[in-house]
Structure 1
Amino acid sequence: MTATPHVLTPIVDRPEQRVWIASALAAVLLALPISQMPLPPVGVTEMLLGLCLAATVAASERWASTTVRIGEQTHNLTLGEVPLVVGLMLVSPGVLLLARITGAFVGLKVFRRQAGHKTAFNIVHLTAETLVAIGLAAAVAPDGLHDGLRLTILGTSVAVAVATGGGLAMAAVMRITAGRPPPGTLVVSTVREGLFASLVASGAAVMGLALWGVSPLLLWGPLAVTTAIVAAHRSGLGLVQANAIQGGLLTFTRSVTGEEDVTATATHLVEATRSLLSAELVAIRLDGLDDGHDPSWIGVGSAEASKLDHDLALDGRHDEAGCCVGSARETVFAALPTGWLAVGMDRASIRPHDRSAVHMVGNHAAVVLANAERGTKLRRQAAEAHHQARHDSLTGLPNRLALRSAIQTAIEADQPFGVLLVDLNDFKQINDALGHAAGDEVLTELAKRLGPVTEGARLLSRLGGDEFAVVATGDQAACVALGQQLNGEIGREVHISSYDLLVGSSVGLALYPDHGTDVGELLKNADLAMYEAKALGGGVAVFGTDSSGRAMRQLEISSAFRHALQEQQLTVVFQPIIDVATSAVTGVEALTRWTHPELGAVSPDEFIAVAEQTGLITELTHFVLDTTLQWQRLWAAAGLDLQVAVNLSPRSLLDAALPRLVQRHLATHGLPANRLTLELTENSVITDPTRTLAALDRLSGLGVRLSVDDFGTGYSSLSYLRNLPIDCVKIDKSFVLPMDGDPRARGLVAGIIGLCDRLGFSVVAEGIETQDVLDALQDMGCASGQGYFISRPLDGAGILDWVRGRSPTEARDSLCVEANNS
């Protein structure tokens, strides 16, 4: 049985040229022993026998062969030993050689339409094989094959020679095409694979000759046995190789996850498919993608891509696997949702299950590409949502969230920088006189002007309204100079419609590290300086110099705060929270207020900062907890079972005594822990993650509910909060207020609500001030909401009256009271 190697040639480097050259050189070497062969006269009988042998060789190459792939090599195991052994006995060496060459050419080139370089190599190999067999016959039986023993020895020798020659031929082909010798184990396995088949074929030939000498009718038995063995061998190899492909599909799917973009995934698919199917050509065409690119073939060059397009356009036939085979080449096409998979194979080596394998690979590739396309769309949507969350919808500049992140990054770099807050003077007059559309045009124009001026800065952002901010590098002189440039650009005329407008500005500057070492402190001090500049009529003011008046107020607040705690000047008022879907009251938010006899109303931002700086934050938390739990008990006595919640400052979360303080207050008022919710800002949970998580775990262990307040104003993420024992997320009003008339703001809020719902967080929206916003939140599936449209803050007694004054269908048995010390 002849082992005929067929090379699965790669696309590049044209290795077929090297095969042609090697075949030509081998043919020249073989010409010498052929020229020395005797040429006796050939009679009619011998000529007819030669023609029969040639026909038998052609038939064995075409129909009595089995294709075996080893690595990237394809081998055809044929019944070529049968006519070889028979010919050694019946015809002269010259006739035998001519018959085998002629028959091989017809079988390989005519019947199987094998490529020219492969046919040439195979014929040279067959010629060498025939010459070796002729030599063996001369050595074993120099006076003729007249007995069974010599014939048996010859048949065995020919089988060994053919199998060994097949392995050497495979090694030669791999050395020529791949440029490196094959592993020794691969050669040995090829010889072992071919030896059994060669022994079977040679044995059949020897047996047939012996039986012929007795009676030609006896040949039908060996012929049937041989045919059965070949059929079983082909079936078994096909089953093994088909199962190997089935098993390889699992590795194939795992190796190509579809986590990258579609183009990168398609590139990996091409490589994985080529490895799985050992194909000469694999390419994927991507059609109809959302990236705006024209359809293109991945895995081949432009010339090969044009051929594939041509083949795909031809009218093909559909085989049993559901694939289309182009009529111009042996390329199997499988349809994909995003285009086509093309697998090119040597026509002579295509097996029945190959096209089914292409079909299966196509199904897997379709799933992987679909996942990759969905992943690309989701990543694009996430990137757009992230951009919207961090950029101003009007000017396209980074917003407050991005500003805080840029300041934090600059702090971590620990190099001097400045934060400049820019406020437009009397901008409200433009809106009142010309309308908000004209005001938006002014803001857009000014944003364009400030861009070139701040190219060397870390960030230019719009905070909302008529405020801009810049994170500038350098010392005080450099930052002041930049502030003056900003004032100069803003002060130039702005042409809107038929009006030439003059806009002034006030710039406040806070420097790191002189005026603050954290984001909040720098923003606060820059804001103080900006108001000082505005009080002076514009220009640039630096914190600590021109803003001394505000610094004095901060000192007075700090001095008076301890006395205010002791004299109980602080009060708590409550703002109702409703179920967005039903309008039923579900809770109230408690707000801490302070009115000083001389300073007047002091904002929570002012006195909470003082409490943290002076170490009084624990006393403030104690006051709010005690007051809120006391109201809870009074409401319960009046028939209202209320759950209360208290906001915690970042400093409180770092206090190891906080869990004991909470537990003591709950015990004092006789309330179960699950009736208390503690709220914390999102930045507080990432200030010191290790200590914060430990405190949250202890609080959660008490049975207290935990909530994140003002979500979206910091730089945490829902994926990070998912790892904390959090029950609820409150969307900051800075996201809710713009929903009235801004579709992009609504989309952002809807995205946050959807993510919270999937992560198992309940959601409360703050800052509801219109019915339209309330209706939109209801459509988005938001659970709860609060704002001036629902009710302004009320004192404890007022809450009781307000709840009882609502219709019974709007009330619930349980209300949530959120005590906020801000």
Structure 2
Amino acid sequence: MGKIVERCRRLRVEPVHALVALQAALAGGVLLLTPGAGNASALWWWALLPLFAAAEVLVVHVPTERSSHAHTLREVPAVLGLVFLAHHDYVLAHVLGSTLALLLWARQRGTKLAFNATMFALEASVGSALYPLLLGGAEASDPRGWTAALAAVLVTDLLAAAAVTAAISASEGRYDGQLLREALRGGLVAAMINTCLALLVVVLVLESPGALPLLGAVLLLLVAGYRAYVRLGSGYGRLQLLYRFVGAAQRPGEGGATAAALAEDARELLRADRAELVLLPGAGGPGARTAAVRDGGVSTRDWDGSPAPDDAWWRPALDGEPVLLRHAGRPRGTGDGPAAAPRDGIAVPLRAEGVRGALVVAERLFEEETFSQQDLRLLETLGAHAAVALDRARLVDRLRAVAAQREHEALHDALTGLPNRRWLTAQLDALLRAGDAGALVLLGLDDFRDVNDTLGHSAGDALLRSVADRLRTAAPGAVARLGGDEFAVLLPGVAVDAAVDVAAALAHGVGRAADVQGLAVTVQASAGVAGLGAGRGPGPAGGPATAEALLSAADVALCRAKERRSAVEAYRPEDGEATRRRMVLARDLPRALEDGIEVWFQPQARAADGAVTGAEALLRWEHPRYGAVPPPEVVAVAERTGLLRRLTDRVLAAALAARADWARAGHELDVSVNVTAADVADEGLVAAVAAALAGTATPPARLTVEITESGAMEDPERCLAVLDRLAGLGVRLSVDDFGTGHSSLAYLDRLPVHEVKVDRSFVARLDAAGSDATVVRTTVALAHQLGLQVVAEGVEVPAQWRAVADLGCELVQGYGLARPLPPEAVLAWLDAHRAGAGPGLRGQPAASRG
């Protein structure tokens, strides 16, 4: 049976020495206990001596999974020796012939030679002692003789396999049963075949010696055929490994994983002890060295390209020159290269667009074979595929790095580096799905717009970065920037009450002076707090909690904190319905401006005789869910959503179109349209009014634009400029709800208005004792002194009509005259009123409100 060749470079000498001594002792003991008598023949001894030597030379090496197995014809001289030599002569011929072959041909020395010699002695002594016992008195050519020879050979082969396994396990410091299984799997079958051949020789020697040359030819042909078969099987196995290598090289992967897989596959394909994939640093990426060592795994380390002493033999490969380092039967560490070079090795260059380096393999797994030109060509093929694979892997790495950077940018704010709203939403969704407790704090800067307007946007950006740094340092949870001047702090596991305290501390910290472009800038911060339960939907049972609902709840609390100037507010459930109403109205308003908003009209008449002079346009929105939406709420929603301009244009167009219809029907009336302070601050209002007048052929004097007293005083200078331009068009101007605001009489004198409207709150109390009549009388007197017309609003009963007429009001408006009418009902009402118009109308009771 063959033997497992050397598996490691450095043997642990002491355990192997102990095995050598043990084998020698066992062999000597068997020799002493076995009688030396037998059929001695000097001719047979000299004939078998070279046969034992030849058996160690004519070796077929079969690579196994982890080493190589050497198949010999040693069983042939062994069986002949058992049959034709005396016990001690057999042992001497076996040991001397085999040892001389290892010494002179295989050039073994030292411990390894001593181990093999003592192993031969143990095999021979055990076999020669066992064979006579099994043979008994039978002839060697009898079936019993065959059985005895076969049993003796198999026992000695098992003993040799166990000895080799023990030696390797002792040298490596661990037992490896795979070695013994590999030896027995291939060795026992070969031993049985060789033993049968040897028995044929014995039979021919005893019965027909002249036929021995024929058997010799058969044996030589068998060895040649066996070697050819082994080469074919080895080539097929390497071809399969090559296919696997190429397939692995074509699969995309990360650079480090690809390099490790390529190095390990190259080591296995070339049947080497170690392989290394070396990449020079450059534009393609950093330098790295990935080493694959048998039984040692794969490791990677960075490399700056600086040479090391043991790199000299393969460094030409970095310059494009392949290297083939061979041995001629010498032990490892005695190669032809530098002192630090391995026994044998191959190095080939790696060249691709973004890759420059070398692929190196070293130390053939078994000494009897070294690397060849064929191996070099194979490794060059592997290197070409490996270079392309590494270039592709580095490209994949770069793409993944870019993707990771893009993902980071998508989840983080570019200005502050904090996570953004998208990141925060994902975190909130995860917490809500897990059912965890916690709170969300929303912080907003109260005076940030003033910083931007005064110092510029660069100062505002610097302030935001300063606030972000403070929150990042002080906040006990994750901080995110939602946009603008709003920041969020996520507090998992924190109750709402504790979160309110945290929010107060954070708002106070943000409010400290910050150095912005050399100036000490102080801004105040407000905070809204919402517990994670605030993210549930409406209704008694609630709905699935969502991140958007939670953010909305915190935003509601923040708005309330800003409105109340209370620094911190916690979300209340009742706030949620109001917020949802605002959100629904904001969602539905754009469509309502197309077909849902209506304009109704409330007539105005002269107080003296009841003749109708005009009508005020009133906004109406019947929402499908909330019913009639009050006009002030509609205006507020339009302002928040940026739709105020569209809303004003819609009402203005409808009012002027209706007035044109009345005129064509014979009712030449005025029409009044309300505008907000934001409308008056919009310089585009004048152009819109002019276009609407021209589009309906309305005389400008027939249009009255109403603005509230408080709205006129919100920005008097800007308001005055727009109102002057409206007056320049010929449009009449009116101050609505006069007496309820805080206007300055000096500004009122400067405004180009034509009338004032006394608020309904004063008119409603004219029939009761009090000072309201004095207020109305004074207002009327002041208006008349300024040359203004006075309209009394909210006139509902005849007594109020008579009172305002007696106080000097020129016009009346209210339920006492008519309720607000839809556009299609106005003409019918005008015709009916004209038929019964006159001073006596003031004595008629007002229509009920029901």
TM range (shorter): 0.5 to 0.7
- Equivalent of residue 487 in structure 1, options 494, 507, 520: 507
1:342 corresponds to = 361
Q: Structure 2 residue aligned with 1:475, among 460, 482, 495?
A: 495
Q: Which residue of 2 aligns with 1:170?
A: 161
CA distance in 1, matches of 2:130, 2:518: 108
Please tell me whether the aligned partners of residues 87 and 129 of structure 2 are also in contact (alpha carbons under 8 angstroms).
Answer: no
Matched, 1:501 2:521: yes
1:633-672, aligned counterparts within 5 Å? none
Tell me which amino acid in the other structure corresponds to 1:21: A
Distance 1:542 1:557 in 2: 24
Q: Distance in 2 between matches of 1:5 and 1:280?
A: 19
SS at 1:448 equivalent: helix
- Corresponding position: 1:314 with 2:313: yes
In the other structure, the counterpart of 1:554 is 582
Match of 1:128 among 122, 146, 149: 122
One-letter amino acid of the structure 2 residue matched with residue 131 of structure 1? S
Equivalent runs, 1:437-586 vs 2, <5 Å: 437-454=458-475, 456-457=476-477, 459-473=478-492, 474-514=494-534, 516=536, 517-536=545-564, 539-544=567-572, 554=582, 557=585, 564=592, 568-569=596-597
Contact 2:27 2:122 in 1 (8 A): yes
Kindly indicate whether structure 1 or structure 2 has the higher relative contact order, using CA contacts under 8 Å at least 6 residues apart. Answer: 1
Q: CA, structure 1 residues 607+528, in 2 after alignment: closer, same or farther (shift >3 Å)?
A: farther
Amino acid at match of 1:191: L
**Counterpart check, 1:61 vs 2:61:** no
Q: 1:600 aligns with which of 624, 635, 655?
A: 635
Correspondent of 1:5 among 3, 6, 9: 3
In 2, Cα distance between the equivalents of 1:560 and 1:302? 64
8 Å contact kept, 2:75–2:191: no
Partner secondary structure for residue 462 of structure 1: strand
**Kept after mapping to 2: 8 A contact 1:168/1:187:** no
Count of residue pairs the alignment pairs up: 566
Higher radius of gyration, 1 or 2:
2
Aligned to 1:105: 99
For 1:409, the equivalent position in structure 2 comes to 430
Structure 1 residues 317 and 86 mapped into 2: Cα distance closer, same or farther (>3 Å)?
Answer: farther
- Alignment of 1:235 onto 2:228: yes
Distance 1:154 1:97 in 2: 20
**Structure 2 matches for 1:369-388, cutoff 5 A?**
373=394, 375-388=396-409
Query: Structure 2: which 5+ runs fail to align?
Result: 327-334, 537-544, 600-627, 644-850
Q: Quote the residue 2:785 is aligned against.
A: none
Q: So what's the TM-score if we normalise by structure 1? A: 0.55
Q: Kindly provide the amino acid, as one letter, of the partner of residue 499 in structure 2.
A: C
Please tell me whether the aligned partners of residues 412 and 420 of structure 2 are also in contact (alpha carbons under 8 angstroms): yes
Larger mean CA deviation between 399-408 and 429-438 belongs to: 429-438
SS in 1 for 2:414: coil
1:24 aligns with 2:15: no
Distance 1:79 1:209, change over 3 A: farther
Q: 2: CA distance between counterparts of 1:401 and 1:302?
A: 40
Q: Deviations over 1:236-273 (max 9, x none)?
A: 12212332343456678889997875555666677777
Deviations 1:38-89 (A, max 9, x none): 999xx9x969x97886555444423x11113455463322233455566679
Q: Deviations over 1:604-623 (max 9, x none)?
A: 99899xxxxxxxxxxxxxxx
Residues 199 and 334 from structure 1, CA distance in 2 versus in 1: closer, same or farther, beyond 3 angstroms? farther
Quote how far apart the aligned CAs of 1:401 are. 0.5
Distance change >3 Å, CA 161–CA 238, structure 1 → 2: farther
Structure 1 counterpart of 2:218, one-letter code: V
What does residue range 15-54 of structure 1 map to in structure 2 within 5 Å? Answer: 18-34=15-31
Q: Is the 8 A contact 2:470 2:509 kept in 1?
A: yes
Counterparts of 2:67 and 2:83, CA distance in 1: 34
TM-score of the pair, normalised by structure 2: 0.54
Q: Deviations over 1:561-615 (max 9, x none)?
A: 79959962399xxxxxxxxxxxxxxxxxxxxxx999542273699899xxxxxxx
Structure 2 equivalent of residue 225 of structure 1:
218
CA distance in 1 between counterparts of 2:535 and 2:218 reads 99
SS in 2 for 1:6: coil
Contact kept in structure 2, 1:164 and 1:191, CA below 8 Å: no
Q: Is the 8 A contact 1:105 1:119 kept in 2?
A: yes
Q: Are 1:193 and 2:190 an aligned pair? A: yes
Deviation digits for residues 297-348 of structure 1 (CA, Å, limit 9, x no counterpart): 3544999999x97655326999x99865564544544556675453544443
Counterpart contact for 1:7–1:73, Cα < 8 Å: yes
Q: Secondary structure at the match of 1:523?
A: helix
Native 8 Å contact 1:67 1:76 kept in 2: yes
**Alignment partners' CA distance in 2, 1:559 and 1:359:** 69
- Cα distance 1:28–1:419, how it changes in 2: closer, same or farther (>3 A)? same
Confirm whether residue 179 of structure 1 aligns to residue 171 of structure 2.
no
- Partner AA of 1:107 in structure 2: A
Find the aligned partners of 1:278 and 1:16 in 2 and give their Cα distance: 29
Aligned to 2:711: none
Q: Which residue of 2 aligns with 1:719?
A: none
Measure how far apart 1:150 and its partner are. 5.4
Report the secondary structure of 1:461's partner residue: strand
- Measured in 2, the distance between the counterparts of 1:301 and 1:417 equals 47
Q: 1:434 to 1:58 in 2, by over 3 A?
A: farther
Percent identity of paired positions between Structure 1 and Structure 2? 25
- Retained in 2: the 8 A contact 1:596–1:602? no
Shift of 1:21: 2.7
Query: What residue identity is the alignment partner of 1:496?
Result: V
1:232: Cα distance to partner? Answer: 0.6
Counterpart CA distance in 2 for 1:341 and 1:476 is 64
Q: Which residue of 2 aligns with 1:641?
A: none
Is this contact kept in 1: 2:344–2:362, CA < 8 A? yes
Cα RMSD (Å) of the superposition? 5.6
1:281 match? 273
**Distance in 2 separating the partners of 1:316 and 1:161:** 54
Q: CA deviation at 1:389?
A: 0.8
**Cα distance in 2 for residues equivalent to 1:199 and 1:58:** 20
CA contact (8 A) 2:445 2:526 kept: yes
* Partner of residue 291, structure 2: 297
Can you list the C-alpha shifts for 1:170-213, whole angstroms capped at 9, x where unaligned?
245346626365688973653122221343356458758988x7
The residue aligned with 1:699 is none
Once residues 160 and 24 of structure 1 are traced to their aligned partners in structure 2, the CA distance between those partners, rounded to angstroms, is 26
Change (3 A) 1:78 1:265: same
